[in-house]
Structure 1
Amino acid sequence: MLFTILGILILISAYFSGSETGMMSLNRYRLRHLEKQKHRGAKRVSKLLARPDRLIGLILIGNNLVNVFASLVAGVIFNRYFGDAGILYAGLVLTLVILIFAEVTPKTLAALYPEQVAFPSSIVLSLLLKILFPIVVVVNWITNGILRLLGVSSEQREQHSLSSEELRTVVNESGALLHQRDQDMLVSILDLEKVSVEDIMIPRSDLVGIDVNDDWKKIQKQLTQANHTRVLLYRDSIDDVVGYIHARDALKLLSKNQFNKATLLRAVRELYFVPEGTPLNIQLLKFQHAKERIGLVVDEYGDIQGLVTLEDILEEIVGDFTTTMTPTTSDEVTLQPDGSYLVDGSASIRDINKEMSWQLPTDGPKTLNGLIIEYLEEIPKSNISLRISGYPVEIIDVAGNKIKTVRVMPEHFIDESPEEE
């Protein structure tokens, strides 16, 4: 009978140990989801976890109670077989038994299958909490008093919220739960706050517009051959921007036989200006609130630095559109037979890193040309080699004060420490 009682007490101890681990190992976000789905077990567990001090107090009261009684029963059994020395043997043997069968095994099982353990256990724990509520309250009152003496309040519970970095890790670790493309899109949304408008804008040197002071026939030809539905209009230079004309407006004028320079200027739409350094997540909201799709990026002096569109921001999330007229990274990076890559000097460093899985620095210049010039502190000549962040780079072609083409040899990459850089 004593052996039977001892076995039952060890099983009860294992139950309390497993329940504690199962409750605390639950995914809180999945638990909330199941609770919204009106899962009964999830509702019970959420109610218990609302006051973790009472839950832990209940489990520890039960666990310590059965362990103490188990030690008493084991002492009686071993005393009958080994006399006074049996007390020592009972402590050693019971410690090993409880450690294996009432602690490690049930807690490991509960950690592996928290829902299967926690949801059924919540039925018994809810009942025990009602029965032992006065004892639990007294114990918690004493322990909370001790915590207050140590400067800790039981109300200061951790808020289960995720930072953007933690959420990014959750998305990356979702595995088969999310398709790879969906994972990439979600991570791209989280990365919007790290990317500013100058990282994705069309630089000033690449802006294409129409000088309204040109001959009308030349303006007509430029409008008909434009690759975009929105065309910038300026006077003499891009610094004196008039606005932009939408192809739809030009077609309306043409259909009414009113298409001339005067009506074109009256149909010009006002430009929207964007301060450089604006994060993409902020600019996306600004585009939405202002109901704009295009904006000129200006610096602190008001000088035009480039142009950014709503489509550019969306491409950061979903990838390049098939209708884009700008060169893709695949067009700017060409694999050579020797394993090296010929890279266009105007290519975006962010795009290169993303597609080629390289680690070129992105905290400075935005293009490979700018990065090399900043590194050398001068405009180099052709056939000069250097190493940037561990990547051997050879300058192939320089023209017009710009590096046109470089050769990158990633197979000779050397991982440099920050001190070496």
Structure 2
Amino acid sequence: MDDISTSTLFIALGVLILLSAYFSSSETGMMSINRYRLKHLQNEGNRSAQRVQKLLDRPDRLIGLILIGNNLVNIAAASLATIICIRLFGDYWGPFAATLGLTLILLIFAEVTPKTLAALYPEKIAFPSSVILLPLLTILYPFVAFINGITNGILALLKINPVNGSDDSLSREELRTVVYEAGSLIPQKHQDMLVSILDLENVTAEDIMVPRAEIVAIDINDDWRKIQKQLTQAQHTRVLLYRDSIDDSVGFVHARDALRLLSKDQFTKASLLRAVREIYFTPESTPLHTLMYKFQAEKERIALVVDEYGDIMGLVTLEDILEEIIGDFTTSIVPDHSKEAHLQQDGSVLVDGSANIRDLNKEMGWNLPIEGPKTLNGLLLEYLEEIPEHKVSVRLAGYPLEIVDITENMIKTVRVMPEYYRPSEDSLND
């Protein structure tokens, strides 16, 4: 070493610091890279992504290789720095100056700066680094295998498998976070659709069904002219037929079948009964994703919802499930155009008591409790524990509500005060 000039030692020390920075940035870049984007690029045939994935398949070997290289260059740098400082400051102050100076230099230029850069731009660091690290792993494999053998043995004592230690699977909640964190990469409407799909198993047929009292159905025992009028004025393509009571349902008749009979002059009660389609029943607790699969398997589009006693509770269609995912097909979901929530000039909202709470929460951005009663009327009656005889104002789940109209033992209209709904000027002018 005495024959080597100090300037040459400085150059060698600079090269070692650069190598240390390379190993430090490579470690952070490899560990910080987005694994899902990496898999996507790998599937598209990106060679750099394939090299990085090959290295990450065995993180124990990758970390072993990087740390071996990093420690070798750091130790070598410490030795050179000591020799240089002894020459410059003497035997007494030299080692002290080397320790303090090199620690500061390594922290700034070989640790904090390169690792921060790699954390911010992992792909730009990891992809080029893989060109060097992959062949270097092959060359130093015996040494790396020896070190890994010892470390893996220690991990085995702790019952840790270094090969299967990481799990890249995402839970439903984690996937929901990923969707929302996508930001502008995925439009807001698409984000809502994806999250709605994730939530299908938390929503049951009871949550979205048309209540029994609102089912459009025809009593086949009525006068024939009345039946004809109801069929011609029906707003649905499938209409439920029943005898005297909806509990004695006969089946669904399709408007197409009725028109076919009419065109052939065969439109009678008997022919109409022969044209009905078998009823598909589903329990009220059926999750929507299960119901959707059943509709697909049975080639059904409509079902009657029954409770645990077999009584008909409501009706659910395939369209109801699709609307749960992508929103209302036929009506605007803008709050002031809602069928059941009407925006007032003072900023309050008049809501129909029969409105479904989940639909209100989605349309208005509210957070009324959905565990228990499904309608606003039911929620208020459960809260009051009686049917009010006059107007009552309550604060429910933090929302100031005023019962405006009570008819036939039901709360017909509720006013939600503007404290929780402040419309824009545009919505007021529509």
TM-score with structure 1 setting the length? 0.95
Residue number in structure 1 paired with 2:383: 375
User: What is the 5 A alignment of 1:6-405?
Assistant: 6-82=13-89, 83-322=91-330, 330-405=338-413
Return the alpha-carbon distance in structure 2 between the equivalents of residues 412 and 114 of structure 1: 44
Shift of 1:271: 0.3
SS in structure 1 of the partner of residue 240 of structure 2: strand
Letter in 1 for 2:279: L
**329 and 315 in structure 1: CA distance in 2 versus 1, 3 angstrom threshold:** farther
Give the counterpart letter for 1:266 in structure 2.
Answer: R
Displacement after TM superposition at 1:410 (Å)? 4.7
The answer to whether the 8 A contact 1:329-1:351 is kept is: no
2: distance between equivalents of 1:305 and 1:100? Answer: 70
Q: Quick one: distance in 2 between partners of 1:143 and 1:123?
A: 26
Q: Which secondary structure does the structure 2 equivalent of 1:411 belong to?
A: coil
Q: Which digits, 9 at most, give the CA deviation of each residue in 1:295-354, with x for residues without a partner?
A: 000000000000000011011112111279xx9971211222322211111111111111
For residues 295 and 98 of structure 2, the distance between their equivalents in structure 1, rounded to whole angstroms, comes to 75
Q: Is the 8 A contact 2:336 2:342 kept in 1?
A: no
- Report if the CA contact (8 A) 1:344-1:405 is conserved: yes
Cα distance in 2 for residues equivalent to 1:205 and 1:271:
18
Contact 2:238–2:253, Cα closer than 8 Å, also in 1: yes
Residue deviations 1:227-286 (CA, integer Å, cap 9, x gap): 111010001011110111111111111111111111111111110001011111111111
Corresponding letter in the other structure for 2:257: D
Q: Partner letter of residue 364 of structure 2?
A: M
- 1-structure distance, mates of 2:49, 2:106: 30
Task: Mark the CA change 1:385 to 1:323 in structure 2 (over 3 Å): closer, same or farther.
Answer: closer
Shift of 1:150: 1.9
CA contact (8 A) 1:329 1:352 kept: no
Partner AA of 2:30 in structure 1: M
Of residues 82-91 and 39-48 in structure 1, the stretch that sits farther from structure 2 once superposed is 82-91
Structure-2 change in CA distance of 1:352 and 1:329 (3 Å): farther
Cα distance in 2 between the residues matched to 1:267 and 1:151 = 67
The SS at the match of 1:232 is: strand
Contact kept, 8 Å, 2:331 with 2:338, in 1: the verdict is no
Q: Secondary structure at the match of 2:151?
A: helix
Moved more, 20-29 or 146-155: 146-155
Q: 1:328 to 1:334 in 2, by over 3 A?
A: closer
Task: Mark the runs of 5 or more structure 1 residues left unpaired by the alignment.
Answer: 414-421
Classify the secondary structure of the residue corresponding to 1:234: strand
Structure 1 distance, partners of 2:390, 2:48, is 70
Q: For 1:179-207, what per-residue CA distance to the aligned partner results, in whole angstroms no more than 9, with x for missing partners?
A: 22222211221121221111111000111
Deviations 1:56-85 (A, max 9, x none): 000000001111111111111112222222
Q: Deviations over 1:114-171 (max 9, x none)?
A: 1111111001001110110000000000000011112222233222111111111111
Q: Residue 347 of structure 1 aligns to a residue in which SS?
A: coil
* Distance in 1 separating the partners of 2:418 and 2:139: 68
Quote the residue 1:418 is aligned against: none
Task: After TM superposition, give the deviation of residue 406 of structure 1 in Å.
Answer: 0.8
Q: Which amino acid aligns with 2:183?
A: G
Partner SS state of residue 199, structure 2? helix
Q: Distance in 1 between the 2:337 and 2:241 partners?
A: 29
Maintained 8 Å contact 1:361/1:389:
yes
88-97 vs 233-242, greater mean Cα deviation: 88-97
Q: Find the aligned partners of 1:259 and 1:300 in 2 and give their Cα distance.
A: 37
The residue type equivalent to 2:53 in the other structure is S
Q: Which runs of 4+ in 1 moved over 6 A?
A: none
Letter paired with 2:226 = K
Give the alignment's TM-score, normalised by structure 2: 0.93
State yes or no: 1:4 paired with 2:1.
no
How large is the RMSD of aligned CA atoms in angstroms?
1.6
Partner of 1:416: none
Contact 2:282 2:305 survives alignment (8 Å): yes
- Answer with 119-128 or 329-338: which moved more: 329-338
5+ residue gaps in structure 2?
1-7, 422-430
Q: For this pair of structures, how many residues does the alignment match? A: 411
Of 329-338 and 158-167, more deviation after overlay is shown by 329-338
